[in-house]
Amino acid sequence: MKDLFSKPNQITFIRILLIPIFVMFLLMDLPYKNYIAAFIFIILSLSDALDGYIARKKQQITNIGKILDPIADKLLISTALIFLFLIGSIQLWMAAVIIVRELVITALRIFFLPKRVVISASYLGKIKTVSQIIAIVAVILNAPLNWWLMLIAVIITIVSGFDYITKMGKLRGENVLNLPNLITTFRLFLIPLFLINLVKANMNSALIIVAIFILSDKLDGISARVTQQITKFGSGYDVFTDFVGIVSAYIVFSLTGMINLYWIVIFIIPTVIIAIIRLFNYIKIKQDRPYAFRKFFVGVVYVTGIAIIIDFIYAFQMLVLAALLVYVYMFIEIYRTMKISKFS
């Protein structure tokens, strides 16, 4: 508890609490609002260096601080990107690529916590953060070359993401920079492209991306077996990509009025429970082998998504079937976990 509320962590908490103030000035109709918003964003960003300096000087570097500090950065950056997109200052794909990368790395950091392994920020990660800050400030102020600065930030973000994933794989004693995982990463970056086309009602392009997403899912499994590069990390990474793709697609279906909001409520509870169980299996039990029903369920969800996109006459009935299956899936996962826990 003392580590949690150390002086550096207090600064980190304050940074998080002040993010809404930045958003308020970004959206308000005030004279010089962009300059004020940029100033607040710079102050919040520079406070990252301040809490790090205090932590080193007072020897208050803690594991919780190593986790909280990057999370605060990601919250600030992601919030800025979301609202800059909403006001039309940046393109959706740029914001989506950066946010997806941050979500993946944050999820992996959390995954390693039960193993008492803390993945602190690397030098490349710090360069990534600096490039994002410069690009966002340039966009807020509508500075010359702001699009190119954002593009550079996106490229550095992707490169640093690969760097983190490689290091995390080595901590598990696995080579994660292999062909199957590169294919899975390709699938992950197809998701924002799919969502963009869905929002813009480019249904033909969205369907093509879905087809590539599904086919590449089969391809990474085949390549893993053929090249004998099957890893626990790769299995979890593949499932995570499916989870992000399916959940984000159905949320956008709801937001664009393609399905009613209550479907998200119906799906969200079992989906969260399944995700928690699978994470438990992966970390604690270390057994999470695929089985026929899981593959069948994912296939039904994919087909239902396609039916929604093409406005198939029986899309509602397929949604009902998918809803029933997700609850069956949840109870199967609960039963299997209890059984495995009992005999492991």
DSSP 51-91: HHHHHHHTT---HHHHHHHHHHHHHHHHHHHHHHHHTTSS-
The pLDDT tens digits of the residues spanning 66-100 come to: 566 667 778 888 889 888 988 888 887 788 888 87
Lowest mean pLDDT among 59-63, 131-135, 189-193, 250-254: 59-63
Contact between residue 265 and residue 323 where contact means Cβ atoms under 8 Å apart: no
d(CA 147, CA 89): 9
Domain limits, the chain: 1-173, 178-344
The yes-or-no verdict on residue 135 having pLDDT over 50 is yes
- pLDDT score at 39: 92
Place of tokens 């940074």: 15
| 98: nearest Cα among 67, 73, 65, 68 | 73
Going by pLDDT thresholds of 50, 70 and 90, the confidence category of residue 344 is low
Q: Where would I find the H helices in 172-199?
A: 179-199
- pLDDT score at 38: 92
The yes-or-no verdict on residue 139 having pLDDT over 90 is yes
- pLDDT score at 324: 93
Mean per-residue pLDDT for 203-230?
85
- pLDDT score at 1: 44
Separation of CA 288 from chain center: 21
The pLDDT tens digits of the residues spanning 248-275 come to: 888 888 878 898 888 888 887 787 787 7
Proportion of the chain above pLDDT 70, given as a percent = 76
Mean per-residue pLDDT for 266-290?
67
Q: Which residue has the higher pLDDT, 3 or 178?
A: 178
The yes-or-no verdict on residue 195 having pLDDT over 90 is no
- Provide the CATH topology of domain 1-173: Four Helix Bundle (Hemerythrin (Met), subunit A) (1.20.120)
Going by pLDDT thresholds of 50, 70 and 90, the confidence category of residue 2 is very low
Q: Report residue 194 as tokens.
A: 């799919």
The yes-or-no verdict on residue 21 having pLDDT over 60 is yes
Domain 1-173 and domain 178-344, same fold? Reply is yes
User: Global pTM?
Assistant: 0.64
The yes-or-no verdict on residue 43 having pLDDT over 70 is yes
Pick the CATH number of 178-344 from 1.20.120.1760, 3.40.228.10, 1.20.970.10, 3.30.565.10: 1.20.120.1760
The yes-or-no verdict on residue 292 having pLDDT over 50 is yes
Proportion of the chain above pLDDT 90, given as a percent = 15
Q: Give the CA radius of gyration of the chain.
A: 21
Q: What is the mean pLDDT of the chain?
A: 79
The yes-or-no verdict on residue 11 having pLDDT over 90 is no
Lowest mean pLDDT among 192-196, 228-232, 307-311: 228-232
